[in-house]
Amino acid sequence: MAGNRHVFLIRGEGYIPRPFRAGLLIFLPLVLFSCATRNVVHEPALYRTERVPSITGEGSIPFHETETHFRESYLTIVAAGDNLFHDVMIRDGEEGNFEPIYREIQPLVQAADIAFINQETLLAGKDYDFSGYPRFNSPQKIGRAIAAAGFNVINHATNHIMDKGEKAITATLDFWDTINRITVLGIHRSEEERSFPVLIVKNNITIGFLGYTYGTNGIPVPREKPFLVSLINTEIMEKEIDALRPLCDFLVVSMHWGDEYNHNPVKEQENFAAFLAEHRVDLVIGHHPHVLQSIEYILRPDGRFMLCFYSLGNLVSAQTQNPTLLGALAYIRIKKTGPAPGGKEPDGIIFMDAGAIPIVTHYEKDFTEFKVYPLYDYSDELLDKHWKNQGKKELTMDYLSNLSAAYLKDKEILFNPFKILTAILPVP
């Protein structure tokens, strides 16, 4: 399956065949870059052949660009935090039904142009034994469930990615190869794979992606295969970010960082955020602490702003501490502007809307009926059924609302923003 990972294109509903990669590699040098699945996505239209420059400038990647006259373009991104499956959640293995978990947030996820999720655990298959804490491997049916829910950008650069060893990472990549239109971040089979830029083109906007993790829980990445996992290393990150920046309109970096169960970003997170802003990153999606942290606009040296979600908390888990039961879906809407009359001003990306929709992890007696709800759709009736409230009431709507307000502050969204958009979006 190693030969199946490549830059591929989507033309409306059709794909350039995967064997295309074999011919493509003849023309490309091996270069340092990041991320696994290489998707370049276009909307149906008339196409002309263009070439994406290689990172070294010595070669190029052919792809097709839409032939259109410029008009203002809009794009929405939804991002979720830790998709973390403990033993009690995977008792039925591949026979489990995981799609209902995401049903209540599916309208939000499917409405977005880009839907990111931090897949905390391996999806290596039954050959590596399904397990929870401390060394996780989850049923691949979970991957199919999150794809069905609408997630299309999957981060695997987490502290648990080495839990079952190198071959389990390859097995996870092999699994994602079986699902169309999925982009995987942060893990790679080879230096060659890592060298290809991750670009998605949607609505005339080119989005670049990178993903990194602080470490792998003391399980070392093989010394002879440093490409396997994208670790936080500013020297390497600088090269990768600076190489990707000219290729995209909007640059997203996923960061697995921070201290678990700490609502406040630590100094190290702040220092890395400053580093990312210095290198003109547009959006940082943070995860790992399993609880909410703040959202911040950080001024870049070029006068633009980088938006940083320090931690989105959990999407779903079987953790029992009250703060871990409230996470958030990041919501971002951007606009690409054209040049002013006479072409005197450059094109640019503007943040139109940004915030976070608080979400609740719900589960009931005996750790059953797992489901994620937007806080605005959650109720006292559901709370009465929550496992935390069996016997005594430990979780209340006031607690959830106050926790959300404390950390999301003026970025809190307590409604479905896509319903608002249908009323205000300009007619093409």
Give me the CATH number covering residue 122: 3.60.21.10
User: Is 10 in contact with 39 (CB distance < 8 Å)?
Assistant: yes
Residues 12 and 160 in one domain: no
Domain of residue 51 covers 2-66
Residues 58 and 95 in one domain: no
Residues 61 and 80 in one domain: no
Residues 252 and 146 in one domain: yes
Residues 286 and 381 in one domain: yes
Residues 161 and 271 in one domain: yes
- The count of structural domains within the chain is 2
Tell me what pLDDT residue 344 has: 53
Report H helices in 255-372: 267-278
Final residue belonging to a domain, choices 17, 35, 66? 66
Residues 151 and 199 in one domain: yes
Residues 153 and 83 in one domain: yes
User: Is 292 in contact with 313 (CB distance < 8 Å)?
Assistant: yes
User: Is 122 in contact with 172 (CB distance < 8 Å)?
Assistant: yes
Tell me what pLDDT residue 348 has: 86
What tens digit of pLDDT does each residue of 253-273 get? 999 999 999 999 999 999 999
Residues 14 and 155 in one domain: no
Three-state secondary-structure class, residue 111: helix
Q: Which of 101, 106, 108 is nearest to 84 (CA)?
A: 101
Using left for φ > 0, alpha for ψ between -120 and 50, and beta otherwise, residue 7 falls in beta
Is the pLDDT assigned to residue 209 strictly greater than 90? yes
**Comparing 195 with 428, which gets the higher pLDDT?**
195
**Strand 205-213 to 198-202 pairing:** antiparallel
Is the pLDDT assigned to residue 72 strictly greater than 90? no
Residues 182 and 306 in one domain: yes
Final residue belonging to a domain, choices 66, 81, 116? 66
Tell me what pLDDT residue 32 has: 34
Q: What is the dihedral of CA 280, 283, 289, 295, to 10 degrees?
A: 100
Q: Give the type of residue at 114.
A: I
